[in-house]
Structures are given as C-alpha cells and as structure tokens.
Amino acid sequence: MKNLRKKFIASAVMLGCAFFAVGAAAALSEKNNSAAIPAAITSFKEDLPVIILDAGHGGFDGGCTSAEGVPEKGINLNILLRLRDILTVSGYNVQVTRDTDRSIHDDGIEGIAKQKSSDMDNRLALFNSSSNAVCISIHQNQFTDPIYHGAQMFYSSSNKRSEALAQSLQSQFRKLQPDNSREIKLCGKELFLCYFSENPTVMVECGFLSNPEEAALLNTEDYQEKVALTIFSGINDFIQNKNNR
Ligand SMILES: [Zn+2]
C-alpha cells in the first residue's frame, strides 16, 4: 500500500494536473433547482446507497490550471457543492471529502509529499467507510494539445458495478455535450482513489481546462450547475436501474 502510494505520487508529479489540484471555496448557488430534479425512488429508500463525493485536490494542491490561471480545485469544489445539494433534496444521504479549499491530511504531518499521502489515505478511507456506497471523484482534465475537449469517465475494476455507473454518467454527459464521443475507461493504479475504492466508483473528468472554450465554460456558475445536474442524473439512473443493485 505504501509503495503504491509512492508510485502514485511519482506518477501524479509527472502527469501534473490530472491527479493533483486545489480548491477555492465558493458560495453555494441560491438557484432553486428542485423543479428540474427527479426525486429518488422512495420505495427502496431504506436501501439507497450513501453517495460519497470527492472534490479533487484542495489546499496546497491546485490540480491542473487553465491558460487563464484558474485552478481545477475550485471548479471541482463548486460542482461538488451543487451536486451535494441536488442529491440531498432528492432524498440521498451524501458525504463529502471536503467542502472548503483544503487538503484533508491528518494534523501534525509535515512536508507536502507526506501531507498528500495522508490526504489520499483519508479520502480513500471515506470511500470505503460504507459497504453500500456510490463514490464519485470530480476532476478536470488537461492535455498538451488544446484541441481536446469533453467529459470522460474512469472507473474502478475492484467493484463490478463501477462500469455500469461510468456508462450511466457518460450517457448523461452526451446530452450536455452532444459532440462528445468519448468512451469510458478503466482506471489504473495511478488513479489511487478510483483504483482502490471498494464501492462502485467513477472519476469524472468533466472537461479539459487546456481547451480555452471549455475552460471558460467550466469556470461559469451556470455551466457548473449543468455539470452537477448531469452527474446527478447519471448517479440517479444508475441507482434506479434494478440491474445495478
Ligand atoms: Zn484533477
């Protein structure tokens, strides 16, 4: 586990933004979205999984950054806060790894590498804290060529239901992004949280901050709201489908 963590950190340093970022806390939107939100099915409410949300990066770790200098961490957090509200009013029990701009490493740990390792361990501990959970990690993507855009889902192989969750989410993103033809992808060990989660888990790469048009969209409250609703629909469809229980 420790060696894997070291490997993860090394990979993350090489790959930059895809795995590390930081979050700037943002005020919750006052918009009331409840009219557009389908309620979670109540007939099996007692069996509803807890929804565990992770806003990638935070604190000293900003993740990737747009050409305009906007870090991924704050966009991830804004989307998480909106998604949490939508899920909560729909009847789901929601837990989050962070709701402010911070790393969640244990107190008293010195040094960025050790703090990052502790932070990731704590996120994973929350993902694995329930045997009946659906876990979502929210990130933004980056690539050297700015032409690439569109959301892509990465899923864990450790729980066989992760693939169906990823398909459900990717299908919803095709409604938001009609020209998105991306396929879901199995995550490797470098995506530590996704790989080692024992519940159905998807890392949602909402879009590319390296694409100027998409980065500008992702930095608006309106589009963040749409992304949150898209992720909600993907989660809700997955849970309501009897085949996924
Ligand atoms: Zn990231």
Question: Domain boundaries in the chain?
Answer: 2-20+33-244
CA of 92 to the centre of ligand 1 (A): 25
Question: Tens digit of pLDDT per residue, the chain (245 long)?
Answer: 433 443 333 333 333 343 333 222 233 333 344 445 555 554 456 689 999 999 999 999 999 999 999 999 999 999 999 999 999 999 999 999 999 999 999 999 999 999 999 999 999 999 999 999 999 999 999 999 999 999 999 998 999 999 999 999 999 999 999 999 999 999 999 999 999 999 999 999 999 999 999 999 999 999 999 999 999 999 999 999 988 87
| H helix runs in the chain, sequence order | 2-15, 72-89, 112-127, 162-176, 192-196, 212-218, 221-240
Tens digits of per-residue pLDDT, 110-165? 999 999 999 999 999 999 999 999 999 999 999 999 999 999 999 989 999 999 99
Spacing of C-alpha 88 from chain mean position: 17
CA of 42 to the centre of ligand 1 (A): 34
CA of 74 to the centre of ligand 1 (A): 11
Q: What is the DSSP string of 168-203?
A: HHHHHHHHHSTT-----EE--TTSHHHHH-SSSEEE
CA of 227 to the centre of ligand 1 (A): 16
* CATH code reported for the domain at 2-20+33-244: 3.40.630.40
Radius of gyration of the chain, Cα coordinates, nearest whole angstrom: 17
CA of 22 to the centre of ligand 1 (A): 9
CA of 56 to the centre of ligand 1 (A): 5
Q: pTM of the predicted model, to two decimals?
A: 0.84
Backbone angles phi, psi at 33, to 5 degrees: -95, 5
| Residues, Cβ < 5 Å to ion ligand 1 | 21, 56, 63, 139
Chain position carrying tokens 């919750």: 28
Tens digits of per-residue pLDDT, 128-142? 999 999 999 999 999
